[in-house]
Every structure is written in structure tokens, then in C-alpha cells.
Amino acid sequence: MMLNPTGEQLAFKAEVRRFLERSAPLSRTREFLEASPGYDTAAWDGLGRLGAQGLLIPEAYGGAGAGVVEAALTSEEMGRVLYASPYLSSAVLAARLLAGLGDERAMKEHLPGIASGRTVATVAFLDDRGHWNPCRIGVRAEPAGTGWRLLGRAPFVTDAAASLVLVVAATPDGLGVFAADGAGRRVEPLECLDTTQPLSRLDLEGVAADRIGADADVEAVMDDVVRVALACVTAAQLGGAERCLETAVAYAKARVQFGRPIGAFQAIKHRCADMYIRVQSARSAVHHLVEAVRTSAPEAADAAHLAKAYCSETAFACATDNVQIHGGIGFTWEHDAHLYLKRAEASGHLLGDAIHHRGALARSMGLLAEEGE
């Protein structure tokens, strides 16, 4: 099973690349990050005009009615330039969750704003290890009058300062999804290696909330949401790894030492060849995952574990090799190589690191006992 993007999908990907290279180069992202953690709202608005934020949203709610293929291709281009934005949180996690829950009132209220980019949303659902585990949800919800009240803290929330925060919480009748009231939410930013992907701890103790999709199978919906998110995260890792390969090869051709381009030396040739093999293998893993998610294939969960484990290691290896090939200049703050290395390390842990996903894959194949056994 392998993805075969259509001409229209590839044309959209090319348009996103042209827009990001023109409107959100890494030099501009640096300006925002060095001033204060944030993102370029002008570029975010431009992506909204392209329809990028509404790819996973049905047309009836202002979206493009596209799917995971387009979202992953867009994420790949964002990974190439390390574009700092709430795309994963809002356009992927929140949009897919709301659409999956099927709550008509909530979709009419929130999805048009997310599709246009005016509403920035996020989802609090990870456990204290940074994994999606429905048995380890740290937030509880209890009835309070005609509504609900949230109790607890949500760790590792992406873009926690979003205007709309959807919280997965344990209730007396199972898992539920709640739109947390803005009043009383306390955001504690975490010290992150990669400031283009901010994480925070969200204190929700006593916060009023509105339940969404009370009749939905929240665990099944979240399983799908996480697989879509992993498709986009691994696609972004692929984009970053490919960009590292391109810059390393370009430098190896231009940098002259001992009267020859350093790319002529065997050690550099082999390192670039290894990077190329890793990137192409990662592309196969990502495309397999995207196609499995698109078709709701039975092996989608295994494909997600495989892709995240391999792409996490590929992104880090390529970013490290890029620094090494650039030599002394590659270790400086002024050069962009360290930013790709930081993104690779941080994204490697996002939604579970390689060890976690290899273990999950081994358990799925019956090669490892279930956790707790």
C-alpha cells in the first residue's frame, strides 16, 4: 500500500512551498522567536487564504473538504522551513476531533473559524509521559449544575494559549471531550529545546466546561485523530530531513579544502549517501502511513508506529550529519543547522518517541507483552 498523490495535490503542495519560501523563510521565523516566542500571523493569514487550515474540515463548515493527504503534504512543506505556527494543534488535532465527534452544534460554532484561521484551537489529551493513553488521562470532569467542571492538569499541551481548548477528560460514564472556558485556565509554559513548537502545562482545576459529542466513542475518535496527527508530524520530519540533505550537499559542493570541494572526499560522500537513503526510506514510511489513514486500512495503527519511530531517528540523524558536514560554522547560532537539530530532537518526542512506538508495534505483533502484564 503506497500513496500516489494526484496532480492537483502535488500542485497544491508546490503552491504551499512557494508561499512559505516567500512569506515565511527561516530568517523571518528567527525574528519572532528571538523577540518572543510566537508565530508570524501575517503568514498564518496567508495560509488561510490558501485554504491550508481548512483541509480537514468539510465544505459545509467552511473548509476545503480535502483530507489527510493534503494536510500531510502541507506539513511536509512547513517542516522544510521550520515554520512556527499552531497548524498541528488547530488545523489537524482540533479540526479532526470536532469533525470526528459529529456534534452539529459544536461544528457550526467552531469549525468555520478554524478553517479561516481566525480561531486558533488546541487539544489537551496527552498523559504525563507525553503519550496518548486513554487509561492515563490526567484530567477529570464532573457535573456542575447544568454544565461540567474540569479537575486536574493537562501536561504537554501544544499552543496552550489558544482561544479554544478542547480537553479529553475522564467522566463517570467514560471519556468525554470538553471545551474549556477561558476563565480560570492557567498556562505554564515549559522550557523547550525547540521554541518553534511551544509546549505548556495547563492547569484546569475548577474550570467550567461545555461537553461536546456526548454520544460519540471518544476513544475511537481520538485514535483516528492521533493517527492523522502522526501522519502530519512524520511528514514535517521528512521535510526537515530532506532540507538538511539539500543544504549539506550544496555546502559539500561549494566548500573547498586542500584544493578540492569537500564533497569529493569519501567520508563526506558516504555521509551524504546515507542521508539520501534515510530520507527516501522515511518518505516511503510516511506515504504508507498517509495512505493507510486515508483508506482506514486495518494496518493504520502499525503504520503510524513504524513511521514515527523511523522518521524521528531519520530527522535527528540527518540534522546531525548536516551540522557535521558544515563543520565549525554549523555549530554557530548564526547558522540554521542547529535549529533543524533542535526541531528533530523535540519532534522525536512529540506524540511518543521511537522507543515508545517500537514497543507499541512489537506489542501489536505479539512480540512483547502488553504494558502492565
Predicted confidence (pLDDT) per residue in 302-358, tens digit: 999 999 999 999 999 999 999 999 998 999 989 999 999 999 999 999 999 999 999
- 296-315 pLDDT, tens digit each: 999 999 999 999 999 999 99
For the chain, domain boundaries = 7-119, 123-216, 219-364
- 96-111 pLDDT, tens digit each: 999 999 999 999 999 9
Please report the pLDDT score of residue 373 as a whole number: 42
Residue 225: partners with Cβ closer than 8 Å, 6 or more residues away: 93, 96, 97, 100, 123
Does residue 179 come out as left (phi exceeding 0), alpha (psi in the -120 to 50 range) or beta?
beta
Does residue 332 come out as left (phi exceeding 0), alpha (psi in the -120 to 50 range) or beta?
beta
Q: What is the mean pLDDT of residues 281-290?
A: 97
| Secondary structure of residue 60 in the 3-state scheme | helix
From CA 290, how far away is CA 303, in angstroms rounded? 9
Please report the pLDDT score of residue 37 as a whole number: 59
Least confident of 191-195, 211-215, 265-269, 308-312: 191-195
What class, spelled out in words, does domain 7-119 have in CATH?
A: mainly alpha
* 371 pLDDT tier (thresholds 50, 70, 90): low
Does residue 187 come out as left (phi exceeding 0), alpha (psi in the -120 to 50 range) or beta?
beta
From CA 205, how far away is CA 364, in angstroms rounded? 36
* 91 pLDDT tier (thresholds 50, 70, 90): very high
Quote the distance between the C-alpha of residue 306 and its chain's center.
16
- 4-57 pLDDT, tens digit each: 899 999 999 999 999 999 999 988 888 877 766 578 889 999 999 999 999 999
3-state secondary structure 304-354: HHHHHHHHHHHHHHHHHHHHHHHHHHHHCCCCCHHHHHHHHHHHHHCCCCH
Whether 1 has a pLDDT exceeding 70, the answer reads no
> Whose grid coordinates read 542521508?
275
Please report the pLDDT score of residue 77 as a whole number: 98
Q: What is the mean pLDDT of the chain?
A: 94
Q: What is the mean pLDDT of residues 260-282?
A: 95
Residue 169, all three cell numbers: 477528560
Superfamily of domain 219-364: Butyryl-CoA Dehydrogenase, subunit A, domain 3 (1.20.140.10)
Whether 195 has a pLDDT exceeding 90, the answer reads no
Please report the pLDDT score of residue 224 as a whole number: 97
Superfamily of domain 123-216: Butyryl-CoA Dehydrogenase, subunit A, domain 2 (2.40.110.10)
